Amino acid sequence: MSFKDEKGIHTDFKERMTYGDYLDLESILNSQHRLSNHHDEMLFIIIHQVSELWLKLTIHEIKAASDAIRKEKFDSAFKKLARVSKIQNQIIQAWDVLATMTPAEYLEFRDYLGQASGFQSYQYRMVEFALGYKTEHVLKIYEKDPELLQELQEAYEAPGLYDFAIEALAKAGFDIDSEVLERDLTKTYEANESVEQAWIEVYQNVDQYWDLYELAEKLVDIEDWMQQWRFRHMKTVERIIGHKQGTGGSSGVGYLKKVLDHYFFPELWNIRTKL
């Protein structure tokens, strides 16, 4: 069957919205502005733009999941957290595409980037904040834009996904230390014995605490994928620039290796040894 046999296909869009109109494709597809004439700069720009779109959706889903957990609507939260994991998988695959660029090719346009770097991705910072990893010093990067800085400051001071999970443990009757429930939300979350004991009991009584058990596993999925993303990021950077300093001034591979040691939800990993 050919196109001409499809009698119902709409072809008159003089006064109708098209696919391109709905997606604002003209704006999106005209947002790749190469600073050099090198072929691979287009790859570099598109990979990072696509990743930022996925990060935008990640933030959207985490916020909705956090609200659902707060309202004890766990089924809704599970759907959104499962979607986050699928998004993370997509972002990880993007590194494989970028890794087709060789060191010699990147050097042809790297100097055009100046001090611009993925390290400055404010959406990535918002994901970190939402997962409980708070680093105040990075806020200085965004002082150029007061409105953006305010948005980041609010995210920095807000409870994260894991705070709502711990609150759910307390609502279920687990004895969670007040220092955790009333903690300074601008500090990176650190493991707590009462939280660990609560999760151990959840895993030992799965039928009784099914929703909390499923929530825990969804959080482990997200952290697992996050660490895989960080690893692929580190190896892609090492493959392309070795151990050179990053364009944003970071130590590059050295910095990326350090963050691999951080756990967002430490008790959920600790209990695997203790169960």
Phi and psi angles of residue 51, each rounded to the nearest 5 degrees, phi first: -60, -40
Residue 18 known to bind ligand = no
Burial class (CB in 10 A: 0-12, 13-18, 19+), 235: middle
The domain limits of the chain are 38-273
Residue 233 known to bind ligand = yes
SS (H, E, C) 58-76: HHHHHHHHHHHHHCCCHHH
Residue 62 known to bind ligand = no
Residue spans of alpha helices (H) in the chain: 19-23, 25-29, 41-70, 74-98, 103-107, 122-130, 146-157, 161-171, 178-181, 193-204, 210-241, 253-259, 266-274
Who contacts 208 (Cβ-Cβ below 8 Å, separation ≥6)?
A: none
**Which amino acid appears at position 115 of this protein?**
Q
Residue 109 known to bind ligand = no
Burial class (CB in 10 A: 0-12, 13-18, 19+), 143: exposed
- Classified by CATH at the fold level, domain 38-273 comes out as Methane Monooxygenase Hydroxylase; Chain G, domain 1 (1.20.58)
Cα–Cα distance measured from residue 259 to residue 118, given in angstroms and rounded to the nearest whole number: 15
What is the CA 166 to chain-centroid distance, rounded? 20
* Per-residue pLDDT tens listing for the chain (275 residues): 565 667 777 777 787 899 999 999 999 999 999 999 999 999 999 999 999 999 999 999 999 999 999 999 999 999 999 999 999 999 999 999 999 999 999 999 999 999 888 889 999 999 999 999 998 888 999 999 999 999 999 999 999 999 999 999 999 999 999 999 999 999 999 999 999 999 999 999 999 999 999 999 999 999 999 999 999 999 999 999 898 887 777 777 888 888 898 999 999 999 999 99
Residue 106 known to bind ligand = yes
DSSP 8-state code for residue 145: -
* Cβ–Cβ under 8 Å, residues 43 and 98: yes
Residue 110 known to bind ligand = yes
Q: Both tokens of residue 257?
A: 């290796």
Cα–Cα distance measured from residue 209 to residue 113, given in angstroms and rounded to the nearest whole number: 51
Residue 10 known to bind ligand = no
Cα–Cα distance measured from residue 199 to residue 50, given in angstroms and rounded to the nearest whole number: 36
Cα–Cα distance measured from residue 30 to residue 39, given in angstroms and rounded to the nearest whole number: 16
CB atoms closer than 10 angstroms to residue 91: 22
Phi and psi angles of residue 190, each rounded to the nearest 5 degrees, phi first: -125, 150
Angle formed at CA 19 by CA 16 and CA 22, multiple of 5 degrees: 80
